[in-house]
Amino acid sequence: MLPLSSNLITVADMYRRKTERLGGPPSFDRELAQDEAVLQGELRTHTLASGLIIHLARVRDLQDMGSHNLLQPGIKATFLLDGQTRLAYGRNDYLLDSRKAPAVLLGLAEEDRFSRAWSRQRHEAKVCLTLSEQWLERLALSGESAGWLARFRREHLSECPWTPSASALEMARQLLLAPQLDAGLLDLYLESRCLPIVFELLERITGTQARPTALSTRQRQRVERLRQFLDSGEADGLGLQRIAAHNGFNVIDMQRLFSQAQGTTVFAYMKERRMQMARRALLEDGLSVALAAEVAGFGNPANFATAFKRRFGVSPSKLRP
């Protein structure tokens, strides 16, 4: 179970949250005082400049009741890492359980009602990603993929079966446990964790995951130039949107083609490259663990040490000559 903060969230806190892009604060089905606590834990909503909306919850219900609010059109992906939740999008009801039915992926072609059933002491660790109409309009898909996406968007409350991959769950975990960062760096951190999940969602919606095809010579050349750009270090610190733009891709095509050619996502490739650089620096240059953490892109040496041991099976301090 992910750690749960002792912070109490009141009715007044719920109304103060900036949720306009999600449709506004909830209405409860019974009278509650403004200072009455309704949740324990953390509840955050981030709207990125690109139009992606991220809703993160690590909470325990403190009330038995129901709530509802209005949602704007877009594609919604909601999934649990811990616990259970009962919710509804329009007329569609769902009981999500992190152990057996963790996710729902659906499209809202128009405004509709979101409802949630609250149950005292029930906990959930939940990520909800919204691909807003603004974000979707900027997505430059072509060919058959564009057709599949357009059909999905046209049908209100359309559903697509989806079970989050281990990679998507790890990205979601990192979203829920995001470190304290300046606003600009936090947006970069959140975007870098969101886009691999978004890529996976769009693969499911467009069916590209089920229809792998061989890359053309031109596509292989473009991916190779992208790989060289990543290996040069020029991409370090850039978000996926900027990496894609620099190399003449949109993000979705970049992720799809790179994954097909390299067997991994752009983000995972960059992370592995920097971990290998840190490993060489420890072995060959005798770098301190703190400096090796910086090479690998970690601000916290302890987090680096944990990730390093998970990747290489040995603590970084053991590799220094």
Whether 145 and 278 share a structural domain: no
Does some domain include residue 201?
no
Which one of 118, 140, 165 terminates a domain? Answer: 165
Instruction: Please check the confidence at residue 160 and state whether its pLDDT lies above 90.
Output: no
Whether 23 and 159 share a structural domain: yes
Instruction: Domain count for the chain, please give it.
Output: 2
Which one of 114, 133, 165 terminates a domain? Answer: 165
Does some domain include residue 34?
yes
Scored b (16 or more CB within 10 A) or e, 164-195 reads beebbbbbbeebbeeeeeeeeeebbbbbbbbb
Whether 161 and 279 share a structural domain: no
Whether 284 and 154 share a structural domain: no
17: domain CATH number?
A: 2.60.120.10
Does some domain include residue 223?
no
Q: Give the whole-angstrom CA distance, residue 95 versus residue 91.
A: 13
Does some domain include residue 137?
yes
Does some domain include residue 177?
no
Does some domain include residue 197?
no
Whether 152 and 296 share a structural domain: no
Higher pLDDT, 311 or 201: 201
Tokens of 254: 């970049």
Q: What is the pLDDT of residues 238-279, one digit of tens each?
A: 887 889 899 998 877 887 788 778 777 787 788 888 889 999
Whether 136 and 280 share a structural domain: no
Which one of 138, 165, 192 terminates a domain? Answer: 165
Query: Sorting pLDDT into bands at 50, 70 and 90, what band is 210?
Result: very low
Residue whose C-alpha is closest to residue 298's, from 278, 318, 268, 319: 278
Does some domain include residue 260?
no
Does some domain include residue 91?
yes
Q: Give the whole-angstrom CA distance, residue 273 versus residue 296.
A: 8
CA triple 241-210-143, angle to 5 deg: 55
CA triple 318-264-160, angle to 5 deg: 130
Tokens of 242: 């900027």
Domain span at 81: 8-165
CB 60 within 8 A of CB 40: yes
pTM above 0.75, yes or no: no
Q: What is the pLDDT of residues 268-279, one digit of tens each?
A: 788 888 889 999
Mean pLDDT of 75-100: 92
Mean pLDDT of 166-190: 89
Q: Give the whole-angstrom CA distance, residue 64 versus residue 32.
A: 12
The 3-class SS string of 131-153 reads EEHHHHHHCCCCHHHHHHHHHHH
